[in-house]
Amino acid sequence: MSDSKKRFSDESNIQYTFTSTEDLIGNTKAIAKFVQHHMANQQPRLKVLQEYYKGNNASILNGQRRKEEHLADNRATHNFAKYVSQFIQGYMVGIPLKTVHKVEEVNNKIREMNRVNDADEHNSELILDQSIYGRAYELLYRDMEDQIRFTVSDVLNTFVIYDDTVEMLPIGGIRYMINQFNENEIVIHLYTNNQHFIYKGNQSLEDIAVNGTLPHHFDGVPIIEYSNNKFRQGDFEDVLTLIDLYDAAQSDLANYSQDLNDAMLKIVGNLEIDSDEAKHMRDTNLLFLRTEPNPHGSNTQADADYIYKEYDVSGSEAYKDRIANDIHMFTATPNMNDENFGGVQSGEAMKYKLFLLEQKRAAKERLFKKSLRDRYRLINNIMKVAAEGEFDVNDLIITFTENLPENIAKEMEWFTKAGGKLSDETMLSMLSFIENPQEELKKLEEEDKKNPLNQPMYDFQQHQQTEVIENE
C-alpha cells in the first residue's frame, strides 16, 4: 500500500535512536533534526488523534460534501473516540492502582510521595494519553522545596531518544516549545542521565545554541515513555475510517430529512398564477389548481406533489448499527446500547463479555508497570544521593483492579450462609476507598486503646490469682 492510501505515514510514529549520549550532547544539528522531524511528521498524527478525541472529526467537517448549494449540508460528528478512551481509562484505573512495598518504612515514604504528587490522578492522565496517542510521557524533577515530583509532559512536544542497541536504552529526552510571546523563538530542553540542557534558537532551527545547563541526580533520563502497545498505536486509531463512515451516514440521513421539508413542488396542469399569488398560497399552505377546457371540450387534469430522493431509512439504520458494532468490536469496548449487555450480572459474567478488553488490559498493564518501575527506580536513585534512604524496586507490588460492577452483597450472602468467615483485613481490602488495610487496622487498634469504654473495670482473673495466694 502506498503512503498516499494511508492516513498516517510510516514516519509519523517511529522511535528515535542515536549512537550515544556523548555524541548527542552538544550536537545541535542532530538535536535540531530530531525536533524538525517531530514537528513535521509526528505532530500532525498526534493532533489528528487529539481532534477526534475532542469530537472534531476532520473527515466530516472538512471539504465539500454536496455540490448543490440549495441542499442541506449537515455534518454530524460522533465522539466514538472519547467513548473508547474514557471507557478504557475508567476500566483500568477507575479504581486507583495500588503500589505497595513489603518494607513498611519504604511503603510509608512511597505513600506520602504519591499523595504529594496526586499519583491517582497522574496515573489516570497517563492512561488516557496512552489510549489517545498510543504513548504518554512523564517528567521527574526536584521542586523548589526539594521534594521529588512527577508530572505528565505534553505528548505533542515530547519524545525520547534511545540508543541504537537491541536493548534500546534511553539516552535523552526532549521537550520543546514555541515562545508564546515571540513565535520565532523555540526553547528545547534536553535531559540526559545526569544533565538538563536548555537550547534556544529561531523556529527554523537553523541556529540553536546552549542557553543553560543544570545538573540532576536521577542517574537516568527523567523523561519516561509509557507505550500503549508494541506499535504505540492509540485505542481508536485503527477505527478512524469507521467513525468517518458513521458520521457520513448520520449526516446523509439528516440531510434527507431536511431536504424532504424543502422539497421541490411539482405541478402538472395548466396553472396560470403570478409570483405574488404563488407566495400567498405557500404562506397559507393552500394550493388552488384551476383546470381549463382543452380543445376536445373536456377539462385538463391538474395535480401537484413534491419531488425528493427516495431514501431507505431502515437500510440506513441497519448500516449504521453494523458500523457501530464494528467500532466496538475492533476497539474491544462494549456497546452499551446492546440489550444483551445490560442487566444485573456478576463480575465473572461481565468478564466473559469483556474478554477481548481483558486481553488488551493485560498487555497495557504489563507495559505500564514496566515504565512505572522506571519511575520508582529513578526516585530511588535520587533518594540515595539525598541520603533519604533507598529501597529495592523489585519488591514493589503494583496492583491494577478492573473497575467492574460486582454483586459483592450476593457473593457475601452465599459465603456466610455456607459458614464462611473472613478476617478484618480481608474485609477492609474489599473496600475500594481503603488504600492500606493493615494501616487501617492499626488505627482501629489505637482508637480502641484510647476509648475508656473499652477498658476493663475489674480484672477478675487477677483477683482470683490474688485470692489463691492469700489462702495459701
> Do 150 and 64 reside in the same domain of the chain?
yes
Q: What is the DSSP string of 262-289?
A: TPEEEEES-----HHHHHHHHHTT----
> Do 383 and 320 reside in the same domain of the chain?
yes
CA gap 405, 433 in Å, rounded: 15
> In this structure, how many other beta carbons lie within 10 angstroms of the beta carbon of residue 461?
8
419 or 315, which is more confident:
315
Least confident of 74-83, 378-387, 459-468: 459-468
| Domain contains 216 | yes
Helices (H) then strands (E): counts for the chain:
16, 13
**Contact partners, residue 173, CB within 8 Å, separation at least 6:** 137, 139, 158, 159, 160, 161, 190, 191, 221, 222, 223
Q: Span 152-171, mean pLDDT?
A: 96
| Domain contains 415 | no
> Do 247 and 269 reside in the same domain of the chain?
no
Kind and range of the H or E run holding 198: strand 195-202
C-alpha cell read off for 181: 510571546
Write down the pLDDT at residue 377: 96
β-strands 396-401, 95-101 pairing: antiparallel
> In this structure, how many other beta carbons lie within 10 angstroms of the beta carbon of residue 320?
16
Write down the pLDDT at residue 1: 44
> Do 35 and 163 reside in the same domain of the chain?
yes
Domain boundary among 381, 406, 431: 406
| Domain contains 412 | no
Write down the pLDDT at residue 451: 74
**Residue holding cell 480481608?**
426
| Domain contains 416 | no
pLDDT of 163 higher than 90: yes
Q: Span 170-198, mean pLDDT?
A: 92
Claim: this prediction has a pTM higher than 0.75: yes
| Domain contains 453 | yes
> Do 397 and 426 reside in the same domain of the chain?
no
> Do 252 and 347 reside in the same domain of the chain?
yes
Q: Tell me the pLDDT tens digit for each residue of 333-389.
A: 988 877 666 555 555 566 677 888 989 999 999 999 999 999 999 999 999 998 888
* Beta-bridge partner residues of 214: 196
302 or 236, which is more confident:
236
Q: Tell me the pLDDT tens digit for each residue of 264-303.
A: 666 666 666 666 776 676 666 666 666 666 666 566 666 6
Q: Tell me the pLDDT tens digit for each residue of 19-65.
A: 999 999 989 999 999 999 999 999 999 999 999 999 988 777 776 66
| Confidence category of residue 186, pLDDT binned at 50, 70, 90 | very high
**Contact partners, residue 207, CB within 8 Å, separation at least 6:** 201
Domain count across the chain: 3
β-strands 223-227, 135-142 pairing: antiparallel
> Do 257 and 340 reside in the same domain of the chain?
yes
> Do 158 and 241 reside in the same domain of the chain?
yes
**Domain carrying residue 471:** 422-472
**Residue holding cell 513565535?**
183
> Do 433 and 352 reside in the same domain of the chain?
no
Domain boundary among 278, 307, 336: 307
> Do 74 and 144 reside in the same domain of the chain?
yes
- Which whole-number Å values give the CA distances from 44 to 9, 154, 203, 412, 445, in the listed order? 10, 14, 17, 52, 58
pLDDT of 103 higher than 50: yes
> Do 78 and 196 reside in the same domain of the chain?
yes
CA gap 91, 97 in Å, rounded: 11
| Domain contains 26 | yes
> Do 302 and 336 reside in the same domain of the chain?
no
Q: Tell me the pLDDT tens digit for each residue of 366-380.
A: 999 999 999 999 999
CA gap 227, 131 in Å, rounded: 9
| Domain contains 76 | yes
| Domain contains 300 | yes
CA gap 386, 211 in Å, rounded: 27
Domain boundary among 358, 380, 406: 406
